[in-house]
């Protein structure tokens, strides 16, 4: 419910000339202050709290004095200035189908509305302003990275081009130099010492002569006769050699003649001879030999492996030697030899029939 109040700027009811002159002494600021105090006291309860229905227009009578003559009172309506929460309550009341009219303020002018309209179109007040700014900077960063990668690619490309051109130029110079060396000068220069022209450029490397491997010694006639007498006369079980904790009988030596099958005792004894010779001749590589039973024990399905032959390798001190020789009985029918050269770290498999045995090499590794 609207309320309307009337206030007068004249503090007295009489209209005499002396009273007007006396009141004229008060300044306009004091009159305006009294009007504000009255309006404030009217819009509040005795306890000092603002009233809920104090939202009507307030009518103030202004006394106009012209040429020291009193004129009639002029009424003007002032709209009350409400706080934000009060305006919100009025808006809520309007949603409940209650007719509440808020008078428009005379002080709001077109400049304020124009300013509000101008800032409403500002991009800095947009909800997407921060996202747009981040996207813009990210796009610039991606563009700089693309330019950097393109520059790096161009650098690599031109470096390859330069290296290729330099190589081609050097090749051309070498070819021209080769042609100049091959072609003798047309005019003889007395100060030019003639040099032999090489057949090919660059010069052929000097061949290194490989040392000749000494062949096996050839047995003389007396030696052959002695061997024949030892093999043909006597009992087959007679012991002919007892050395290196090995016993060789006549029967085992007979396997060396004709097309007989070789005996493992003969092979072990011969390898022991090679080891003994390397120990007493310093110009020969140091040799370690393993028994013919070594590879069979190493590859045995039961009790085999490194644990089965570990004690044999400890006794021989293999890593202190240059060459390790291992006899191998291939499938129980053919004897082969595997050589471990620790100087060049290689394992070689020798077979007179020319067959390979990768399984053996893998087992020895």
HEC states along 248-315? EEHHHHHHHCCCCCCCHHHHHHHHHHHHHHHHHCCCCCCEEECCCHHHHHHCCCCCCCHHHHHHHHHH
pLDDT of 162 reads 93
Residue 2 pLDDT greater than 60, yes or no: no
Residues of the chain with CATH 3.40.395.10: 263-364
Mean pLDDT of 121-126: 76
Q: Looking at residue 139, what is its pLDDT?
A: 92
Most confident of 4-18, 51-65, 264-278, 295-309: 264-278
- pLDDT in the model for residue 20: 46
- Please give the residue that has the higher pLDDT: either 27 or 244: 244
- Res. 129 pLDDT band, cuts 50 70 90: confident
- Determine the pLDDT at residue 146: 93
Contact between 20 and 68 under an 8 Å Cβ cutoff? The reply is yes
pLDDT of 238 > 90? The answer is: no
Per-residue pLDDT, 303: 65
Rank 21-35, 75-89, 194-208 by mean pLDDT and report only the highest: 194-208
Q: What is the mean pLDDT of residues 72-88?
A: 44
Cα distance between residue 8 and residue 48, in whole Å: 23
For the chain, the distance separating the N- and C-terminal CA atoms, rounded to the nearest angstrom, is: 110
Residues near 252 by beta carbon (within 8 Å), at least 6 away in sequence: 263, 265, 266
Query: Which of the four pLDDT bands, split at 50, 70 and 90, describes residue 242?
Result: confident
Residue 290: predicted pLDDT: 84
Mean pLDDT of 318-337: 81
Average pLDDT over residues 325-349: 83
CATH of 263-364, one of 3.40.640.10, 3.40.50.300, 1.10.10.10, 3.40.395.10: 3.40.395.10
pLDDT for 138 equals 93
Task: Return the pLDDT at 199.
Answer: 58
Helices in the chain by DSSP H: which ranges? 17-24, 28-42, 84-95, 110-120, 129-182, 221-232, 250-253, 264-280, 293-298, 306-316, 358-364
Please state the rounded mean pLDDT for residues 276-282. 83
Percentage of the chain lying above the pLDDT 90 cut: 9
Own/partner pairs, 281-286, CB within 8 angstroms, 24+ separation: 285/322, 285/323, 285/343, 286/320, 286/321, 286/322, 286/323
The better pLDDT of the pair 329, 24 is held by 329
For residue 64, what are the contacts with CB-CB under 8 A and spacing of at least 6? 71, 74
Confidence of residue 142 (pLDDT cuts 50, 70, 90): very high
The more confident residue out of 247 and 185 is: 247
> What is the per-residue pLDDT for 166?
92
- pTM for the predicted model, two decimal places: 0.39
In this predicted structure, the answer to whether residue 200 has a pLDDT above a threshold of 50 is yes
Taking 90 as the threshold, does the pLDDT of residue 147 lie above it? yes
Determine the pLDDT at residue 66: 44
Q: Give the whole-number percent of the chain exceeding pLDDT 70.
A: 59
Asked if residue 253 lies in contact with residue 231, where contact means CB atoms within 8 angstroms, the answer is: yes
Confidence of residue 191 (pLDDT cuts 50, 70, 90): low
Is the pLDDT confidence value at 56 over 60? no
Model confidence at 3: pLDDT above 80: no
Give start and end residues of each alpha helix (H) in 186-246: 221-232
């Amino acid at each position: 419910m609207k309320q309307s109040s009337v206030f007068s700027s004249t503090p007295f009811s009489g209209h005499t000339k002396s009273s007007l002159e006396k009141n004229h002494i008060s300044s306009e600021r004091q009159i305006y202050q009294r009007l504000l105090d009255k309006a404030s006291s009217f819009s509040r309860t005795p306890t000092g709290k603002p009233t809920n229905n104090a939202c009507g227009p307030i009518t103030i009578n202004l006394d106009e004095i012209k040429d020291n003559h009193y004129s009639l009172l002029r009424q003007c309506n002032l709209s009350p200035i409400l706080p934000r929460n009060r305006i919100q309550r009025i808006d809520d009341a309007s949603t409940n189908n209650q007719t509440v009219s808020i008078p428009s303020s005379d002080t709001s002018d077109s400049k304020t509305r124009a300013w509000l309209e101008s800032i409403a179109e500002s991009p800095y007040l947009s909800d997407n302003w921060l996202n747009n700014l981040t996207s813009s900077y990210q796009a610039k960063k991606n563009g700089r990275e693309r330019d950097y990668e393109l520059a790096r690619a161009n650098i690599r490309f031109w470096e390859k081009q330069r290296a290729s051109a330099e190589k081609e130029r050097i090749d051309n110079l070498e070819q021209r130099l080769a042609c100049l060396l091959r072609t003798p000068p047309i005019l003889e220069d007395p100060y030019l010492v003639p040099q032999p022209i090489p057949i090919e450029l660059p010069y052929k490397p000097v061949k290194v002569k490989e040392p000749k491997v000494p062949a096996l010694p050839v047995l003389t006639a007396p030696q052959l006769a002695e061997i024949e007498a030892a093999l043909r006369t006597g009992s087959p079980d007679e012991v002919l050699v007892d050395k290196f904790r090995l016993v060789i009988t006549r029967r085992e030596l007979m396997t060396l003649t004709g097309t007989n099958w070789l005996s493992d005792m003969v092979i072990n004894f011969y390898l022991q001879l090679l080891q003994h010779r390397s120990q007493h001749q310093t110009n020969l590589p140091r040799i370690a030999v393993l028994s013919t039973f070594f590879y069979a024990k190493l590859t045995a399905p039961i009790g085999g492996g490194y644990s089965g032959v570990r004690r044999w390798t400890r006794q021989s001190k293999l890593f202190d030697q240059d060459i390790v020789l291992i006899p191998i009985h291939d499938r129980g029918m053919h004897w082969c030899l595997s050589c471990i050269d620790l100087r060049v770290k290689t394992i070689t498999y020798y077979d007179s029939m020319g067959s390979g045995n990768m399984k053996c090499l893998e087992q020895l590794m």
